[in-house]
Structures are given as C-alpha cells and as structure tokens.
Amino acid sequence: METVVIHGKSRTEVGKEASNRIRRAGGVPCVLYSREGNLMFTADPAELRTLLYTPQFKIAEIQLDGQSHRCILKEVQTHPVTDAVTHLDFLKLIKGTTVKVEVPVILKGSAVGVKSGGKLVQRIRTVHIKANADKIVPEVHLDVAKLDLGQTMRVRDIESIEGVEIVNPASTPVVGVEIPRALKSGMAEEAKEAAKK
C-alpha cells in the first residue's frame, strides 16, 4: 500500500484566528487524533497533494517532533468558494484497533454484455470497509467478466478478503450493463419476428 510522508510542524495556538494565520502563511492546520492524545500541527500543501487529489486510498506517515505516526485521513474541510483545503483531520492507526475507511472498487475482466453491444455503467466507485489497522487494504475487486446485457452486480458480489468487512448494504448495485436504445429496439424486432414464426 502506498504511503505519503508528511513533515508536520507542531503548533500550540488554536482557534479561528490562529488557523487563519497559518493559512495566510501558506500552511494547512491539521489535527492528529489518537488514543494517546491529540496532536495539532501544520502541513505543507505541496506534500498533501498526492494524498488528497487521487482516487486511490493511501496511508499517511506524519513525521512530527522526531516521531513517525501511521495514519489515515479522516476529514477534509475546504473553502466554500475556492475549494482550497482549510483543515485536515487524521486518525492514528494502532495495531489491534478496528477502523472504518473508504476504498475504491476496482473492476476486473471484460463484461460479456459489453462485447454484445451493451454499455458498462459503474454506479458506485468506493465502499466503506471495516478492518483491524494492520489488515487495511487499498482497494477491493469485482470480477465483471460474466456480466451480461441488462444484468447488475452488487456489493455482495465483491471478492471477499479475510479480516475485511464491507459496511455498505449487500444489495447495493455496484455495476451493470445497460442495453442501448438501438440494441433494445433491434432485440424487440427480433422477438416479434420470432413470435410470428
């Protein structure tokens, strides 16, 4: 699993004014939540890019005051107008504790329905999983090879991984093969002709 290293700078000042000063100076105010106590720090936006602007799930390794903390990104706050990142919350991963994270669903194979002229439509691109901190996976997989025209695959069809629980309802549609209008009309005509015989 890919890890993004962030070199944080400890901060003691809290509150709106202090956070605004950090932003004006080009930093991003952050909080690292942990059972061992919460840590306030400032991060460089350039180091955060590969963690924030990606569909992939990544682990953050925050280096702060000579210590290294393995974390996940829990919440991102952005400016309502500019979309600039204004605040980040991280959660420290502690071995043996259960965490819930959002990971991408990766489709495998070529659906037979697409080869027959259908259109593959992915309805959800991520799912929430629950696992021990040391069992977290960066993605889950769904094999769509047998997916035919008009069929749908659901959360329950995602390949299971030992020690990982998918939290989303099992019946939630993930991907389907839609029948294009032209193909649908052609199929209807064929059915009519077959009925006449």
> Do 38 and 81 reside in the same domain of the chain?
yes
Residues 18-44 have a mean pLDDT of: 88
Residue after which a domain boundary falls, among 94, 128, 157 = 94
> Do 124 and 88 reside in the same domain of the chain?
no
For the segment 66-109, what is each residue's pLDDT rounded down to a tens digit?
999 999 999 998 888 888 888 999 999 998 889 999 999 999 99
The number of C-alpha atoms within 13 Å of 40 and in the hemisphere containing its C-beta is 9
CA dist., res. 170 & res. 82, Å (int): 37
We report the CATH number of the domain holding residue 8 as 2.40.240.10
Angle at 65 between CA 64 and CA 66, to 5 degrees: 95
> Do 118 and 180 reside in the same domain of the chain?
yes
> Do 112 and 88 reside in the same domain of the chain?
no
> Do 71 and 110 reside in the same domain of the chain?
no
Task: Provide CB contacts within 8 A for 134, sequence distance 6+.
Answer: 93, 95, 96
> Do 113 and 178 reside in the same domain of the chain?
yes
> Do 105 and 124 reside in the same domain of the chain?
yes
Given this model, what pLDDT does residue 36 score? 81
> Do 56 and 114 reside in the same domain of the chain?
no
We report the CATH number of the domain holding residue 167 as 2.170.120.20
Domain coverage including residue 81: 3-94
For the segment 135-175, what is each residue's pLDDT rounded down to a tens digit?
999 999 999 999 999 999 999 999 999 999 999 999 999 99
The answer, yes or no, to whether residue 44 has pLDDT greater than 80, is: yes
CA dist., res. 16 & res. 161, Å (int): 43
> Do 19 and 57 reside in the same domain of the chain?
yes
> Do 87 and 8 reside in the same domain of the chain?
yes
Task: Count up the domains in the chain and report the number.
Answer: 2
> Do 31 and 70 reside in the same domain of the chain?
yes
Burial 52-72 (b: 16+ CB within 10 A, else e): eeeeebbbbebebeeeebbbb
The model's pTM: 0.80
Residue after which a domain boundary falls, among 39, 69, 94 = 94
